[in-house]
Amino acid sequence: MATWDSLIRRAAVVHAPPIRAGWNKVGMTLVTFLAMLPPLAVAVVERGAKWLLLLLVSLIVVLTWQALFAVVRGRPWPLDGVLAALTFALVLPPSLAVWKVAISLSFGIVAGQELFGGRGHSFLNPAVVALSFLIFSFPGVGLHSLTAVTALSVIPGALLLVAVGLLSWRIIAGALAGTLVVAFASGMSEPLHLIVVASFVFGLVVYAADPVAAASTNPGRWLYGLLFGALTVLLSGAGPHISIESVILAALLSSVFAPLIDVGTIWFNVYRRRRRYG
């Protein structure tokens, strides 16, 4: 007869990240940065030198905080904050004040990542936390309206990340399904166009599907994607358009529930195995 502990160990086998064996933090950071190069190039072309200044400020803020925490903890200085700075800056309007960038990203990197021990220890995406702080703290500030070119620019990177195991296709499929289900339930006449909206495509790949902030179990990834897609439509008011603000907030709420989804998935698996093996 299987013991309770052995059932938990068997069930927890599904609680594995989508990252394939052999990857380390440096490799993950480099590959993800490579995937973000196309949207970075589009942002530079579309928004110019003013936006580059915001990106530079974002990099300085994140790396400074990471250096400070590395010294306090006696650990090597990580460089994964470059990704947080980049994904935060990608949706900023060029006219945004520098001090708002510094305050918002400081909150995001400290409260959303470093206080938990750094990337891999937190269940939140620091860029999503920082953007949510920006949205709530400065209501008059609107994020940059993304174009179709921006959305298309993340697709090659998404395919790369899926191929190397750093992005789960289950989350993407679940998000598409959740969006369509809620859109149909809301009586929208043309719900299919929502899944090709630039802000939805961009936010799904860059923010919602982050392997650190998303669910880690395979069934949990489906549920997480469904939740993200449903929240995106609901937060947009079930209207004909999805704003990047709605996508950001949906990603934040989904990541908050991701640990609960994983725990529920594991315990359901434990219950199922217990009934099967007695």
Write out pLDDT tens, residues 171-187.
999 999 998 888 888 77
Domain tally, the chain: 2
Same domain, yes or no: 247 and 181: yes
> Which residue has 């460089």 as its token pair?
79
Same domain, yes or no: 208 and 267: yes
Distance CA 9, CA 117 (A): 25
Distance CA 188, CA 197 (A): 15
Model confidence at 20, pLDDT cuts 50, 70, 90, reads: very low
Same domain, yes or no: 182 and 274: yes
Write out pLDDT tens, residues 133-144.
999 999 888 898
Write out pLDDT tens, residues 90-113.
999 999 999 999 999 999 999 999
Helices (H) and strands (E) in the chain, counts: 11, 0
DSSP secondary-structure letter at 13? G
Is position 262 within any domain? yes
Distance CA 202, CA 250 (A): 13
Model confidence at 16, pLDDT cuts 50, 70, 90, reads: very low
Same domain, yes or no: 195 and 277: yes
> Which residue has 């940065």 as its token pair?
33
> Which residue has 């579309």 as its token pair?
46
Could you tell me the residue range of the domain that residue 111 belongs to?
A: 20-145
Same domain, yes or no: 6 and 54: no
Is position 162 within any domain? no
Same domain, yes or no: 3 and 44: no
Number of neighbouring beta carbons within 10 Å of residue 12:
15
Distance CA 228, CA 179 (A): 8
Average pLDDT over residues 110-137: 90
Instruction: Select the more confidently predicted residue: 28 or 216.
Output: 216
Q: Record the pTM.
A: 0.87
Q: Above 50 in pLDDT, residue 72?
A: yes
Is position 155 within any domain? no
Q: What is the 3-state secondary structure (H, E, C) of 84-140?
A: HHHHHHCCCCCCCCHHHHHHHHHHHHHHHCHHHCCCCCCCCCHHHHHHHHHHHHCCC
Same domain, yes or no: 84 and 197: no
